[in-house]
């Protein structure tokens, strides 16, 4: 087909070939650009339902707009040749497969940081697609490309589903590549989002170890190993790998989908924790699906986050209870001994005829003393036998060193975070690439202050141009911290989500995750102004030395046009002066959802349509302005002063493509 024309595209050269399609570099004269044309093999058309699936899935893939997913421009059927084809953006860089081959030829392995960045980027793309009901089903290095600036791009979305929904092609072959196929796909099932997680885990295993987890003489032998063989420990091939990375791989590559990560975002979040030097503790597998060494690593569970409470002190012994019992026993024995001694004396007297004989002499003092001494000795012997307490009842306590109260307090700290205020992204609808600020107010509701080594860290989802981490000023217990995170809207029309997390100095998470949800879409047309006349400016309103004013917004920079999606756009900018010198900017209306971070507005609208919109500049924020009266701000421009002295000025613009610089 080299040199031929397919639809509007002139084929230049072949750049790839696979079991389902051939990929060509082609030139599109109408837009003076190169594109990639994927031509599906003709045998696929033998399936009578293929055309229906092709149209449905191609439309779904073309709707995916993510910086890490290849953009699909067009899809069509060439009747003359009987070929279905898709037209995509042309990416100059190599595939990940080529990159791996180059590293292998040099006897090298990919740098750990580069490997995690690549997999995290592809994971973000998969998470975006999964949220929209799209499963890739053939994640592998050949379907991952690099742009000229090193950005990883996932290609071939939807091809597997176009071929067949059952997991088998029209020719009976399994969908997926044996080296990267999930066990359930190997058994002939279609697979779901967790199948993509497994395949992505295989790619990461290969990047960090330089080897695939399973190999055999035949493709079916490889598939059977994916189904039956325990996962070899990655650290047996590369001992310097972090233990946390090995644990993450073990969970991503679990045989049972229920034992894997249930969302790509969870896998990516753990990988980013590993890159940040933090520990990762996925739940251990319920069924052994890994090698014994790797199973032992997975069984290790994290230490408790908070220091356990010290054991309760032993109960004080009630020493007086045994002492009292012993005293009673001794007293009883003493009485018995006295009685015995008395009876002995009396017996002596009776034996001598003393009873009944008034003249009988009493025992001699020596005899009585001897008998008393014997009785006392017997009592002391009994007392010693019973172990009666001596006069020293409590031992003298041994002095102990004074505990380190500071260390004890730090060890028992409980760190926690309460989200006091979670402001919605403003404006509610963002334009591609528009700058915005996400704001939270959080409170330290733990038992110890947040120190200077605490950080707000990006952990998962779409980073939206935000920082990897933000330093935290010390925050005392019960105090609040206001967070302002500068971000940039992604380029794709969709609802985008990113997650940040407060972490302590050792990388442990603190409190709930902070989520950013940004909607990127076409700007809605503002409602027409009402005809209610503008209320008069109160006479008592103080007038500033120089009234607030703003320039007419103008198009700045280069306008954009997306022919295939029928939209064009640009950026409007203006300036302000006078008033208080502190300005707030709005589009469409002076409401929270329409506030802008700066006097500029990036828009996108249908091709051929002019943009009609009103922009406002105020001398105070919404908390001071309050609600403007109905009918305020009619006309193409004007000025209004609230009863509190806050100035509001506005300008209406009406621009079209012909006004672009």
Which of 330, 85, 53 is closest to 175 using CA atoms?
53
Beta-carbon contacts of residue 176 (< 8 Å; ≥ 6 apart):
137, 138, 160, 182, 185, 186, 191, 195, 199
Strand order in the sheet with 469-471: 429-430, 509-520, 494-503, 455-461, 469-471
Q: What are phi and psi of 602, to 5 degrees?
A: -100, 130
Task: Please state, in angstroms and rounded to a whole number, the distance separating the CA atoms of residues 266 and 200.
Answer: 13
| Closest by Cα among 148, 140, 143 to 93 | 148
- Name the residue with tokens 């609040």: 480
The tokens describing 304, both together, are 């408790």
Angle at 589 between CA 588 and CA 590, to 5 degrees: 140
Other C-beta atoms within 10 Å of 526: how many? Answer: 14
User: Is the separation of the CB atoms in 642 and 625 below 8 Å?
Assistant: yes
- The one-character DSSP state at 404 is -
Q: What φ, ψ does residue 280 adopt, rounded to 5°? A: -130, 130
String of DSSP letters for 123-160: HHHHHHHHTTT---S---GGGEEE-TT--EEE--TTHH
Q: 326 and 333 in contact (C-beta within 8 Å)?
A: no
CA distance 265 to 124: 7
**How many angstroms separate the CA atoms of 187 and 557, rounded?**
55
CB-CB contact of 264 with 122 (8 Å): no
Residue in this structure with the two tokens 């600020």, named with its chain if needed: 437
Distant-in-sequence, close-in-space partners of 98: CB < 8 Å, separation ≥ 6: none
Active site residues: 138
* Interatomic CA distance for residues 437 and 486, integer angstroms: 5
d(CA 550, CA 616): 8
């Amino acid at each position: 087909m080299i040199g031929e024309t397919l639809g509007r595209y002139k084929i230049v050269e072949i750049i790839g070939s696979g079991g389902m399609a051939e990929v060509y570099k082609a030139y599109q004269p109408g837009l003076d650009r190169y594109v990639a044309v994927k031509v599906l093999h003709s045998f696929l058309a033998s399936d009578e339902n293929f055309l229906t699936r092709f149209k449905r899935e191609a439309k779904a893939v073309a709707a995916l707009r993510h910086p890490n997913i290849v953009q699909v421009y067009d899809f069509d059927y060439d009747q003359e040749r009987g070929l279905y084809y898709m037209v995509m953006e042309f990416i100059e860089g190599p595939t990940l497969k080529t990159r791996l081959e180059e590293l292998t030829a040099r006897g090298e392995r990919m740098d750990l940081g580069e490997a995690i960045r690549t997999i995290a980027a592809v994971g973000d793309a998969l998470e975006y697609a999964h949220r929209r009901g799209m499963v890739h089903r053939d994640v592998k290095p050949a379907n991952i490309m690099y742009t000229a600036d090193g950005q990883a791009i996932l290609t071939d979305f939807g091809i597997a589903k176009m071929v067949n929904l059952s997991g088998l092609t029209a020719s009976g072959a399994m969908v997926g590549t044996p080296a990267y196929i999930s066990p359930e796909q190997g058994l002939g099932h279609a697979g779901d989002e967790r199948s993509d997680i497994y395949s992505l885990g295989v790619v990461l295993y290969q990047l960090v170890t330089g080897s695939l987890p399973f190999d055999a003489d035949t493709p079916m032998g490889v598939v059977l190993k994916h189904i039956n063989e325990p996962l070899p420990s990655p650290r047996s091939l590369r001992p310097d790998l972090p233990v946390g990375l090995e644990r993450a791989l073990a969970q991503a590559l679990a045989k049972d989908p229920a034992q894997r990560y249930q969302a790509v975002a969870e896998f990516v979040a753990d990988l980013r924790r590993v890159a940040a030097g933090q520990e990762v503790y996925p739940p251990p597998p319920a069924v052994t699906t890994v090698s014994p060494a790797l199973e032992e690593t997975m069984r290790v569970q994290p230490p408790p986050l908070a220091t356990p409470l010290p054991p309760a002190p032993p109960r004080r012994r009630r020493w007086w209870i045994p002492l009292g019992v012993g005293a009673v026993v001794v007293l009883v024995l003493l009485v018995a001994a006295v009685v015995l001694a008395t009876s002995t004396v009396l017996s002596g007297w009776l034996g001598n005829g003393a009873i009944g004989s008034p003249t009988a002499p009493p025992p001699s003092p020596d005899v009585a003393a001897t008998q008393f001494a014997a009785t006392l000795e017997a009592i002391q012997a009994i007392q010693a036998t019973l172990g009666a307490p001596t006069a020293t009842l409590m031992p003298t306590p041994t002095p102990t060193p004074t505990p380190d109260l500071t260390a004890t307090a730090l060890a028992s700290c409980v760190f926690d975070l309460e989200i006091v205020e979670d402001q919605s992204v403003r404006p509610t609808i963002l334009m591609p690439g528009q700058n915005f600020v996400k704001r939270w107010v959080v409170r330290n509701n733990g038992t110890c202050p947040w120190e200077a080594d605490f950080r707000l860290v990006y952990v998962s989802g779409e980073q939206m141009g935000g920082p990897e981490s933000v330093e935290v000023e010390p925050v005392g217990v019960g105090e609040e911290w206001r967070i302002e995170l500068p971000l940039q809207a992604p380029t794709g029309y969709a609802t985008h989500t990113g997650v940040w997390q407060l972490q302590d100095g050792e990388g442990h998470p603190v409190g709930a995750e902070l989520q950013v949800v940004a909607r990127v879409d076409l700007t809605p047309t503002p409602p027409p102004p009402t005809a209610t006349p503008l209320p008069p400016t109160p006479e008592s309103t103080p007038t500033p030395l120089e009234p607030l004013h703003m320039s007419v917004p103008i198009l700045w920079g280069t306008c954009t046009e997306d022919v295939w999606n029928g939209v064009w756009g640009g950026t409007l900018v203006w300036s302000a002066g006078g008033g208080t010198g502190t300005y707030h900017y709005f589009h469409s209306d002076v409401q929270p959802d329409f506030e802008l971070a700066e006097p500029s507005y990036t828009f996108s609208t249908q091709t051929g349509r002019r943009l009609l919109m009103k922009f406002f500049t105020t001398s105070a924020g919404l908390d001071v302005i309050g609600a403007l009266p109905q009918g305020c701000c009619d006309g193409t421009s004007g000025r209004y002063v609230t009863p509190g002295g806050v100035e509001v000025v506005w300008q209406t613009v009406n621009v079209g493509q012909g006004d672009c610089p």
